[in-house]
């Protein structure tokens, strides 16, 4: 067996993947078995490896005498003896694909509003999936030209679509590949644990992107939910009206918003120097957070490094020269202070136009120019809870959701985040400093 860990280069994530590799070796030693080969995808330096397909040719060529490949994430717990037992029940000479099967109850934006999704199973990546060499080798020889899409959003779903369309092999659901740990589980996802006990919002600045037409409907929701716990928060809009007198004025467009977000970065960069903020969180005015979970996450990263954290998407990842990954804005984007300063250095990341898509350019193309690889977190979400499979959300503790469409966002906050956030003190409403905002 070859275990392929879809890992990331950033130190915290690379360390987790290496720890997982050592755990697998130790289990094999205790079983007195030859250890599986363990591949950390970030060490291969294959572009777009997180979408899985770019790895296939390399794996097929390098591991010719392997029966099984098992793909997983750095937070997947593998009980090696039980996993080997599960794999042993299948004929490895056949085209076999096993995992914890998910399916969509209805069409969803994260899967491009695909039809007939109930019949289309895809694996829960946090629990891992197994694939015989025969199937992987067959896939590596496929031309996936006809399955190329501009956007990579959910790698497991899109890979499952490629497998089904290329080979007509469907995912076999295996209950012992578990959502939560149990006595018979071969694998299960490990929930996130903070790296230390510090949960302080003092060094984090929140910038909420908005515009005048949403001051009445959206901003009160933000202020009544997660913003109650924000020590440092600013609202960036095209207008400071009676509904949001404290707004910072930034350029506004009906699409793209690159100039708007760049203006936020310029303004907050000065604040970060003045008030010694470590982190900037950029949020849409229809994004809901858990403050506690977000602050816990940040305990695992060094704010003195250039770091960008959020939900990773890809644009034309099949294009080796011009494809790139980026952090999608609606899920919320976290930037360290050094990175904020680097982005706004003259000429490096100036917006091509005011309407250029801000997340794709500033947190994709720009980061690539700066040599910064974005950090992907499963806990950030570009869509609503109803847009995800129930088992997917059950395998984690979400940090954010996005979109107020056809939901009550305050109910979403109460259901998913309120109880967790209650351990933080609510922040008093600060008096307005109109002079300060006029100068900016």
pLDDT at 117: 60
Statement: residue 434 has pLDDT above 60: no
Statement: residue 26 has pLDDT above 60: yes
pLDDT at 435: 36
Beta bridge partners of 325: 314
pLDDT at 69: 98
Q: Encode pLDDT of 369-420 as tens digits.
A: 999 999 999 999 999 999 999 999 999 999 999 999 999 999 999 999 999 9
Calpha distance 327→310 (Å, rounded): 6
Q: Give how far Cα 131 sits from Cα of 43, 98, 216, 219, Å.
A: 21, 7, 52, 47
- Are 260 and 236 in contact by the 8 Å Cβ rule? The answer is yes
pLDDT at 254: 86
Task: Give DSSP secondary structure letters for 239-304.
Answer: ---TT-TTPEE----SS-BHHHHHHHHHHHHHHHHHHT--EEEEEETTEEE-HHHHHHHHTTS-TT
CATH 3.90.550.50 location in the chain: 204-439
pLDDT at 50: 96
pLDDT at 439: 34
Q: Residue range 72-76: average pLDDT? A: 97
Calpha distance 338→342 (Å, rounded): 6
What confidence tier does 432 reach under pLDDT thresholds 50, 70, 90?
very low
Statement: residue 430 has pLDDT above 80: no
Q: Residue range 122-143: average pLDDT? A: 95
Q: Residue range 346-368: average pLDDT? A: 95
Average model confidence (pLDDT) for the chain?
93
Statement: residue 342 has pLDDT above 70: yes
Please give the model's pTM, rounded to 2 decimal places. 0.94
Q: What percent of the chain has pLDDT over 70?
A: 95
Calpha distance 107→110 (Å, rounded): 9
pLDDT at 118: 61
Task: Give DSSP secondary structure letters for 17-32.
Answer: HHHHHHHHHHHHHHTT
| CATH number for the domain running over 204-439 | 3.90.550.50
Closest residue by Cα to residue 409 from 397, 396, 420, 418: 418
Pick the CATH number of 2-184 from 1.10.238, 3.90.550, 1.10.10, 1.10.3470: 3.90.550
pLDDT at 426: 87
pLDDT at 431: 47
Q: Residue range 332-358: average pLDDT? A: 95
**Strand, coil or helix: what is 430?**
coil
pLDDT at 249: 96
Q: Residue range 97-111: average pLDDT? A: 92
Closest residue by Cα to residue 300 from 227, 371, 379: 379
The strand pair at 76-78 and 187-189 is best described as antiparallel
């Amino acid at each position: 067996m070859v275990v392929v860990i879809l890992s990331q280069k950033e130190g915290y994530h690379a360390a987790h993947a290496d720890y997982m590799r050592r755990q697998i070796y130790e289990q094999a030693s205790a079983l007195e078995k030859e250890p599986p080969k363990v591949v950390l995808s970030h060490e291969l330096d294959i572009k777009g490896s997180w979408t899985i397909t770019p790895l296939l040719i390399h794996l097929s060529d390098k591991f010719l005498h392997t029966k099984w490949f098992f793909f997983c994430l750095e937070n997947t717990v593998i009980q090696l003896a039980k996993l080997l037992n599960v794999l042993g029940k299948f004929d490895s000479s056949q085209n076999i694909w096993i995992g914890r099967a998910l399916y969509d109850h209805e069409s969803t934006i994260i899967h491009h509003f695909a039809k007939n999704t109930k019949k289309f199973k895809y694996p829960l990546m946090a629990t891992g999936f197994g694939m015989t060499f025969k199937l992987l080798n067959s896939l590596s020889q496929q031309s996936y030209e006809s399955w190329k899409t501009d956007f990579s959003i959910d790698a497991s779903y899109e890979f499952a679509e490629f497998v089904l369309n290329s080979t007509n092999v469907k995912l076999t659901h295996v209950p012992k590949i578990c959502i939560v740990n149990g006595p018979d589980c071969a694998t299960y996802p490990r929930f996130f644990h903070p790296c230390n006990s510090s949960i302080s919002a003092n060094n984090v600045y929140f910038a909420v992107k908005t515009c005048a037409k949403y001051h009445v409907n959206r901003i009160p929701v933000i202020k009544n939910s997660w913003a109650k716990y924000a020590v440092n928060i600013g609202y960036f809009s095209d207008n400071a009206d009676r509904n949001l007198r404290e707004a910072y004025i930034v350029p506004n467009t009906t699409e793209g918003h690159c100039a708007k977000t760049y203006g936020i970065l310029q303004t907050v960069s000065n604040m970060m120097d003045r008030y010694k903020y470590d982190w900037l969180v950029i949020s849409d005015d229809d994004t809901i957070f858990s403050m506690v979970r977000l602050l816990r996450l940040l305990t695992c990263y060094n704010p003195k490094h250039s770091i960008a954290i959020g939900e990773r998407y890809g644009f034309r990842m099949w294009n080796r020269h011009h494809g790139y990954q980026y952090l999608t804005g609606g899920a919320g984007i976290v930037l360290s202070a050094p990175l904020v300063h680097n982005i706004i250095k003259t000429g490096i990341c100036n917006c091509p136009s005011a309407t250029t898509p801000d997340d794709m350019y500033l947190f994709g193309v720009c980061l690539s120019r700066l040599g910064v690889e974005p950090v992907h977190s499963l806990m950030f979400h570009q869509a609503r809870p109803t847009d995800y499979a129930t088992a997917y959300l059950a395998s984690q503790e979400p940090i954010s959701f996005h979109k107020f469409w056809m939901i009550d966002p305050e109910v979403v906050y109460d259901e998913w985040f309120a109880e967790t956030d209650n351990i933080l003190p609510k922040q008093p409403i600060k008096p307005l400093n109109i002079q300060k905002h006029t100068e900016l």
